[in-house]
Structure 1
Amino acid sequence: MKVKDKVFVVTGAGSGMGRELSIQLVRKGAQVALVDINRKGIQETAVQAGIERVSFHEVDITDRNSVHYLPSQVLSQLGEVDGLINNAGIIQPFLDVKGLDYAVIEKVMNVNFYGTLYMTKAFLPELLKRPEAHIANVSSMGGFIPFPGQTVYSASKAAVKILTEGLYSELKGTNVGVTVIHPGAVNTNIMKNSDLKTASTNSEAGSKILSAEKAAALMIDGIERNKFRVLVGKDATLLDMLYRFNPKMAVDLIVKKMKKRSE
């Protein structure tokens, strides 16, 4: 589905990847409903994207009642909805499961999985009314391969992966296309948005981090090509290949690399 002249809803639009997705969608001729819990952030995105091409909505996507009323708010301002990009997400503190508080576990699952589910269920009836429409859910390379210290985050993103693939199977033959997106390391402020201290990176790791601008372009291209699955970044692509070839070897490699980096 070409994005020109379409209306998209983007979550997490107040910063990082969501902001870049919104800006690029507008540049390609779309209108965008900016959704974020941070009102100041979405106002800044609106200015950068073009205030005349967007609407902004301060919404906590983990609040099912608030999400339920969001479609009518978007429709009243933009007239219709053709696409939904569930981009909002947070990571967990870098701790093993045994060290995580239940409150943290619930927050990660609520934002990453339930937020995606609530948005999808709220907007799907409207998307099914359109001549063509699209849902793109942002998982992670952590959604298909685990990282020590991010197990709950990975579990939440694996849930997004299966939810999205299930939606694809249920909506096959309808007007709604479905794409699951697996970004690798991308230069965004997800650490800050997750209330975590910014982690230092060595030059080797930094050189592999993809810019948000490039990552967003790959995501939008995947939507326009109606791709089932989009891997964003060389790290995601290589780990996907290795995991398919030998899952245990891939996990052992991740453990070894992360232990070496923490020394």
Structure 2
Amino acid sequence: MELKDKKVIVTGGAAGMGKELVVQLLKKGSYVAALDINQEGLNNLKSELNNDRLSIHRVDVSNDQSLEDFKREYYSIHQEVDCLINCAGIIQPFVNVEQLDMNTINRVMNINFFGPFKLTKMFIEDLKKRPIANITNISSMGGFFPFPGQTVYGASKAALKLFTEGLYAESLDTNLKVMVVFPGAIATDIAKNSNVQMNTSASDSKMKMTSAPDASSQIIKGIEKDTFKLYVGKDAKFMNMLYKFNDKKAIAYINKMMKKMH
């Protein structure tokens, strides 16, 4: 999909990988609507980029009224939509399932799964009317592989994975291209933005992480090449292979690694 002059929606656009996607899409010549719940971050983004092709929108993807308000606001500015990138996401506190309260569980599921689901439902009919269109959903390495202490986060990302794969199957005979992305460890502030405390050994980890600009570049190339599944980072590719080869050994390995982090 050629991105020049295409109209793209990016959730989680004020920080991290979402922000880098906005930056790189604008460099490609796209019109971009950046969504985020962080108004200050959006204002800083607008000021920093100073690009007339960028619109910013404070949106809570877990709130139905906020989504409906955004839809009206979006069409009043851009009229059409060619691409939807669901990038907004949070992690859960690093605790076992029995220690999670339902408010936290619902928040993780609403932001990571139901937000992308509802935005897809909101725009998919219009996307299919375009000559070519794309929906890209950012799942996670945790969406195909279990991480102890992140079970509900993983469930939300696994739901997004299969939802996206189902969209791909339903769109084979249409002009709509669909991609699901599985990032490994990306150097962003997702823990801070999720209000999750991490100890010093985790936040200062020597683990090799993919940079947000590199990850975003790979995602954009995937959209341009009509990729279906994209694994971002050597860790995501390695764990995908290891889990398929020996799932018990893979889980034991990551369990040992996670115990060092919290």
TM-score, structure 2 as length reference:
0.95
Q: Tell me the distance in 1 between the aligned counterparts of 2:261 and 2:15.
A: 28
Residues 150-192 of structure 1 deviation map (CA, whole Å, 9 limit, x = unaligned): 0110010000100100110111111110000000000111111
Flag the 1:133–1:201 CA change in 2: closer, same or farther, 3 A.
farther
The range that moved more, 39-48 or 193-202, is: 193-202
By how many angstroms is 1:36 displaced? Answer: 0.8
TM-score, structure 1 as length reference:
0.95
Give the alignment's Cα RMSD to 1 decimal. 1.7
Paired positions, count: 262
By how many angstroms is 1:203 displaced? Answer: 10
Identity of aligned residues (%): 48
Q: Tell me the distance in 2 between the aligned counterparts of 1:38 and 1:203.
A: 22
Residues 43-70 of structure 1 deviation map (CA, whole Å, 9 limit, x = unaligned): 2122333331111111111112321343
Task: Give 1:167's aligned amino acid.
Answer: L
Flag the 1:84–1:262 CA change in 2: closer, same or farther, 3 A.
closer
Residues 190-236 of structure 1 deviation map (CA, whole Å, 9 limit, x = unaligned): 11110123443479943411111111101111111111111110100
Q: 1:1-263 alignment to 2 at 5 Å?
A: 1-201=1-201, 205-259=205-259, 261-262=260-261
Residues 7-43 of structure 1 deviation map (CA, whole Å, 9 limit, x = unaligned): 1000011111111110010011111001111111112
Q: Tell me the distance in 2 between the aligned counterparts of 1:199 and 1:160.
A: 29
Q: Tell me the distance in 2 between the aligned counterparts of 1:205 and 1:227.
A: 31
Q: Is the 8 A contact 2:113 2:160 kept in 1?
A: yes
Q: Is the 8 A contact 1:140 1:184 kept in 2?
A: yes
Q: Is the 8 A contact 2:83 2:134 kept in 1?
A: yes
Flag the 1:66–1:163 CA change in 2: closer, same or farther, 3 A.
same
Task: Give 2:236's aligned amino acid.
Answer: A
SS in 2 for 1:206: coil
Q: Is the 8 A contact 1:35 1:57 kept in 2?
A: yes
Q: Is the 8 A contact 1:26 1:49 kept in 2?
A: no
Q: Is the 8 A contact 1:183 1:233 kept in 2?
A: yes
